[in-house]
Homo-oligomer: A and B are copies of this chain.
Amino acid sequence: MTTTPSALLTDLYQLTMLQTYFAEGMQETAVFDLFARRLPPTRNFLLAAGLHQALEYLENLRFTAEELDWLMNCGRFDSRFVNFLAEFRFTGAVHALPEGTVFFANEPILRITAPLPQAQLVESRLINLIHFQTLIASKAARCVLAAPGKLLVDFGMRRAHGAEAALLAARAAYLAGFGGTATVLAGMRFGIPLFGTMAHSLIQAHDREEDAFEHFAAVQPDNVVLLIDTYDTEAAARKLIALAPRLQARGIAIKGVRIDSGDLADHARQVRRILDAGGLRQATIFGSGDLDEYRLRELLASGTPIDGFGVGTRLDASTDAPILELVYKLQEYAGKPRRKRSEGKATWPGRKQVYRQTTADGAFTADWLSLETHPQPGEPLLQPVMRNGRRLLAQESLDAIRRRAETQLAALPPALRDHQTPASHPVHIAPELRELATQLDSERH
């Protein structure tokens, strides 16, 4: 388990509804879809992520003795219902988009088919898990598209929203194409490549900046990337020129420098000149500090000589779009399609499939949302991944997911790849689905 497993990590209303379902014997099969109601204005596509943690959650879902005790004594639930919860397991089926799949508004990313109480209870945590990783993978994908061929590293742990966010942001960014993360525990848990050398405090704790550089290099001879902006960036670069021969004599090469403040474009250019003139042509320049896809594109468009970037806060909190309107809605119960009609929040009923149409060379042309019983041309995207509460497939490796994401991003039409101009992919609603919705609307409730 890489995540918090508690069954009580849910909204209270799930339990009050379950008590009603239990009292009424409403245990028939429900079908819920998890989908994005609409995309944020700054997102032309989303990248599916978080399925592994969602399945892990469903497989391990049960109430502990301590939790059952608390439920029994909290004054809201009777003992028969709590006994029912003691036996609670998820025994349903899951269809899902494979992680790393591009998707759009109204397209189910996950479909749960299970007895109503089971399908209901899991709503809050399923959204919580899928929402966050999809949010970060989608943001990271935009950074990757903005900086082709550059090394991008997740630096965001400190301002990610808590521990789980830090860990799962590292995972989501890596599967979207980042080269790695600074978060050690994410390296240990997920096998993601780790990056990191020093902060300003190491420089400050030494009386002389050059001593800090030299001591650090001696201790980490294979990973000499030096932070040069603590006092005066260009002066520090010149100190490296003086230091390099002494290190070389000990068999140590300066691998690179990091710049974390000021006008990165200007400093990188000056530092590049100093390093090149001083015989440190092979030393790379790594930039960090308030970076995101907008800033990356700007820096690279102006030809800034930076080889890699640490992307932190703005990635891990997805600051330009910190939430997605992911929702989880009942589409069928007891064999009958269902439709919520709330203003601005109406849903497409029934068991659905997403069909993706592409050109001969794989570029996306259009998607169709249709009832499963009415296939459309194109590739069906939702795959069966769990039946009777057990996974149907072995866990995918993170690298396999990463390769899928790469292929998917390569197939995006140019308008959707643009990070500044809003564009939307056509998602057509099949006629039979429209008819079903109209028919349900005419019913009295």
Contacts and interface: CB of A to CB of B under 8 A. Distances in A.
Contacts of A262: 342-344
Nearest to A181: B12
A26 B211 CA distance: 13
Contact of A184 (B11, B26, B168): B11
A232 B330 CA distance: 18
A159 B128 CA distance: 5
Contacts of A444: 208
Contact of A219 (B19, B128, B339): B19
A342 B20 contact: no
Given A8-B185, A162-B164, A13 B198 contact: yes
Interface stretch (A94-102, A318-326, A354-362, A408-416): A318-326
- Give the number of times this chain occurs in the complex, counting copies: 2
A428 to B, nearest CB: 25
Interface stretch (A187-195, A249-257, A270-278, A386-394): A187-195
A62 interface: no
Nearest to A263: B343
A65 interface: no
A202 B132 contact: no
A220 B19 CA distance: 8
A6 interface: yes
A318 B164 CA distance: 17
Contacts of A17: 198-199, 201-202, 216
B220 A16 contact: yes
Contacts of A209: 445
A205 interface: yes
Given A13-B198, A342-B229, A344-B262, A131 B158 contact: yes
Contact of A330 (B30, B120, B155, B204): B204
A329 B200 contact: yes
Contact of A322 (B19, B70, B318, B338): B318
Contact of A128 (B14, B21, B163): B163
Contacts of A204: 330, 333, 338-340
Among A318, A322, A341, A345, the one with the most B-chain Cβ atoms within 10 Å of its Cβ is: A322
Nearest to A232: B341
A116 interface: yes
B205 A330 contact: yes
A138 to B, nearest CB: 14
B161 A162 contact: yes
Contacts of A207: 336, 445
A201 B330 contact: yes
A260 interface: yes
Contact of A131 (B14, B21, B159, B198): B159
Interface string A96-132: 0000000000000000000010001001110111011
A344 B338 CA distance: 56
15 contacts: A9-B183, A9-B184, A10-B183, A13-B182, A16-B197, A17-B198, A17-B202, A74-B194, A116-B205, A128-B162, A165-B165, A201-B329, A261-B343, A262-B344, A263-B343
Interface of A: 3-4, 6, 8-17, 19-21, 23-24, 26, 30, 32, 67, 70, 74, 76, 116, 120, 123-125, 127-129, 131-132, 135, 155, 157-168, 182-185, 187-188, 194-205, 207-209, 215-216, 218-220, 223, 229-232, 260-263, 313-314, 317-319, 322-324, 326, 329-330, 333-334, 336, 338-345, 444-445
Per CB-CB distance, the 9 closest pairs between chain A and chain B, nearest first, are A12-B196, A162-B164, A161-B161, A13-B196, A262-B343, A322-B322, A261-B342, A4-B163, A161-B165
